[in-house]
Structure 1
């Protein structure tokens, strides 16, 4: 039994490790083909990440990516492809910032109001796709893509200076009304060469979300029903699971987590919503990280750190004469490699399972022959 468990663990780790190794090898080949030294490129990236200020930036970026990947992973575990995480997080951040900027409350109440608003807006926006799928059979892939476009247009409309947008003094970018100091989420101060930087305090909320995700899936009846419905809808229905309800609940939960993606930035740094501070594309990055982490909270954490490391290392490559797109190429190759590696490992694991079954049947047959002969 222990041997089998150990083998399962090795197989679970093999796919992401193989994907990263293959992506690094292919990236090295591309860098070498351009006439540059790939070893030097990787050395510069690692050297830059050793700086304390870079590590703070990596942790802050990874916190956002982690939340995005967990939101996507919830859908994946239900066999749903929530591509709308990007729109859900941006519209949630914008409306939460607008609500938070319109009131002044004691600190805990103020932050709670903003967080609840973000969660509800993200859940409602995602819930639209859930309702369309359960009641009209509309693919969540199509509906969430379209809702991303609707979210972008709605944000542009609401951010006009005649509605929710304001123009801060000395700036040419419209933002929502700045949040009061009571909405400042305390960070972790880090001394960097005499100046103080902060790791987002929201990193603890992200950790709590990951633990909650793991507990929900593996320790609750809801999580069991969700995984069962995702693995086989027909089998889940036969066992009494209401699959339509599970689809809707999964989309609501995924959207609610998506609503938290912008909160580290909003409560920890910008304190208002501006388009430049909440860029599009974070939700799609979450898809790649969820794949790399195999929808596992711990695996997603490593994936988020790797992705943030590549993001933050790119400018240093450009500064030292290397094309900064090397980091982007590596990210793309990791996604492709993950898909291929998972399929290879899955096929290998299936063959190993078949071999074990054959060995056990052969042993049982030999025992039967021995008993009959005796």
Structure 2
């Protein structure tokens, strides 16, 4: 076979996502090997810790907020918008849910529904501020969403640290919410929040694939100017999408407060890093809601598997965070993110 013939042979192109995951696993294994550990044992414990039937409830329990925050990032990303304010929107949702549960004079089921709706409304409106700032004043939403998180977190910290603090404790947190406001338990650590998040995920996928609004959002992501010329009202669309994104973050905050913490605790919603893991999962899927949900479940499995790996092999679970970062990095390289134009 001639040299020219060899050059003309086209080898199958490996899809970007599996390639990025494979490279991440390879680099993670090399890091474990370099530190004196057994990479095969480490990955075995991650798989068992995430997928063993006895561990499914823990994985699903972690997946509820992570998939929710993945959708928070994926929905705007589908239209070429970036929402970096998930932390602030999550905090507002959690705090408002706790306050509604504590102070609204409603019976059990109505109190739960009102607390969740108040949380979603407050977070949705707060997220809309960034969209309004860009459409009205030209403030880039990439910057404003991130900056708006700081006052939200700071004000919430002040409120639960001083005027709303549970005086029976020395911690910055509200009083415990009443039993009537707590989400019904399904099994073990799982509560009705799993069902609520599943409904939201199905609704987002349906909106993306089966509605005119979803089609217009995808067109905006491909070419915003073309979508505008085609009749899409970009400003109102941006407000709606950001409201929906913030509302999902508020729902996540409400589920965490009403379903597991049973009060708002300063910093408790932010420490697990749901927002940034969700953003990475959304980037891994390119903003596609169905792919983002799968990526969120994958990252949730990495997190719960990381705990099992650390417990069984003494390899720190930070390895799973390295895997996430490396996967996104190589996916970005494969897609040419940051490549200089010629």
Compute the TM-score of the two structures, normalised by the length of structure 2.
Answer: 0.88
The answer to which of 40-49 and 142-151 deviates more is 40-49
**Number of residue pairs aligned between Structure 1 and Structure 2:** 324
How many angstroms apart in 2 are the aligned matches of 1:290 and 1:202?
21
Alignment of 1:49 with 2:27, yes or no, is no
Q: What is the deviation of 1:142?
A: 0.9
Alignment of 1:142 with 2:137, yes or no, is no
Which structure 1 segments of 5+ residues have no match?
1-9, 190-196, 345-374
Q: What is the deviation of 1:50?
A: 5.0
Q: What is the deviation of 1:69?
A: 0.7
How many angstroms apart in 1 are the aligned matches of 2:173 and 2:333?
43
The answer to which of 68-77 and 173-182 deviates more is 173-182
Aligned match of 1:254 in 245, 262, 269? 245
Question: Could you list the per-position Cα deviations for residues 304-349 of structure 1 after superposition, in whole angstroms to 9, with x for gaps in the alignment?
Answer: 22212222233333332323322221121122123234459xxxxx
Alignment of 1:92 with 2:93, yes or no, is yes
How many angstroms apart in 2 are the aligned matches of 1:342 and 1:246?
27
The answer to which of 328-337 and 223-232 deviates more is 223-232
Q: What is the deviation of 1:246?
A: 1.3
Q: What is the deviation of 1:112?
A: 1.3
How many angstroms apart in 1 are the aligned matches of 2:289 and 2:218?
15
Residues 229 and 246, structure 1, Cα contact 8 Å, conserved in 2: no
Alignment of 1:164 with 2:164, yes or no, is yes
- SS of residue paired to 1:165: coil
Q: What is the deviation of 1:270?
A: 1.6
How many angstroms apart in 1 are the aligned matches of 2:214 and 2:199?
17
Residues 211 and 297, structure 1, Cα contact 8 Å, conserved in 2: no
Paired position in structure 2 for 1:110:
111
- SS of residue paired to 2:161: coil
- SS of residue paired to 1:132: helix
Paired position in structure 2 for 1:349:
none
Q: What is the deviation of 1:42?
A: 1.0
Q: What is the deviation of 1:73?
A: 0.8
Residues 76 and 245, structure 2, Cα contact 8 Å, conserved in 1: yes
Residues 164 and 176, structure 1, Cα contact 8 Å, conserved in 2: yes
- SS of residue paired to 1:294: coil
- SS of residue paired to 2:276: helix
- SS of residue paired to 1:262: helix
Change (3 A) 1:45 1:119: same
Paired position in structure 2 for 1:325:
318
- SS of residue paired to 1:159: helix
Paired position in structure 2 for 1:297:
289
Larger Rg computed on CA atoms: 1
Paired position in structure 1 for 2:332:
339
How many angstroms apart in 2 are the aligned matches of 1:77 and 1:283?
17
How many angstroms apart in 2 are the aligned matches of 1:50 and 1:123?
34
Paired position in structure 2 for 1:5:
none
- SS of residue paired to 1:40: helix
Residues 160 and 174, structure 2, Cα contact 8 Å, conserved in 1: yes
Change (3 A) 1:158 1:18: same
Question: Could you list the per-position Cα deviations for residues 5-55 of structure 1 after superposition, in whole angstroms to 9, with x for gaps in the alignment?
Answer: xxxxx99x9332222111101111111122222111112222333555532
Matches within 5 A, 1:22-101: 22-50=23-51, 54-101=55-102
Residues 97 and 272, structure 1, Cα contact 8 Å, conserved in 2: yes
How many angstroms apart in 2 are the aligned matches of 1:69 and 1:146?
20
Change (3 A) 1:44 1:216: closer
Residues 191 and 259, structure 2, Cα contact 8 Å, conserved in 1: yes
RMSD between superposed Cα atoms in Å: 2.2
Moved over 4 A (4+): 50-53
How many angstroms apart in 1 are the aligned matches of 2:237 and 2:279?
21
- SS of residue paired to 2:189: strand
Residues 88 and 149, structure 2, Cα contact 8 Å, conserved in 1: yes
How many angstroms apart in 1 are the aligned matches of 2:216 and 2:21?
33
